[in-house]
Structure 1
Amino acid sequence: MAQHAVPSAAAPDARPATPVRVPVREILPWAIFAFVLAGVLLYFVGAEQGATSVFGGTWIHEFTHDGRHLLGFPCH
């Protein structure tokens, strides 16, 4: 007798898949971390130059220079 790839409804181990619930309190710290990290990266790529410069020198500007042009930020 041939066996089917899909178990029948009468099979004892055929249970419907139940979704896993993840509490918000477990996601919230990671969401805040991702938001802060994205903000810091956006600041360094988009605004760390000229009058808004927090760090002295031009090394951050030179390090993120190509990323600025790739993302459409003017820098000259």
Structure 2
Amino acid sequence: MTIDQVNIMKTWLLQRATCTMEYIWEDLGPLFWPRWIKRGVCVNTQSCSWPPGMRCRSSGSRSLKLLRWVSENKYNYNIVQIYK
């Protein structure tokens, strides 16, 4: 096989063995930092391997440390109402 044929075959196999992911940005609101978190979701409902048989699935979860703004002023009703 020529180098061009090998590259075409590699590209084809890579396309057949790749599951499509969609990334969604979730807004946690103004009280959190970072405010936006990106989450990946599997798009393929059919097999994404060659030969067919493998499916897209979650690789697990990851713990994130977020900062949350909290008011020390207990008498300000507007701030307290945010948490209800």
The verdict on a shared fold, with TM-score over 0.5 as the criterion, is no
Larger Rg, first or second structure (1 or 2): 1
More strand by percentage: 2
Greater relative contact order (Cα < 8 A, sep 6+)? 2
More helix by percentage: 1
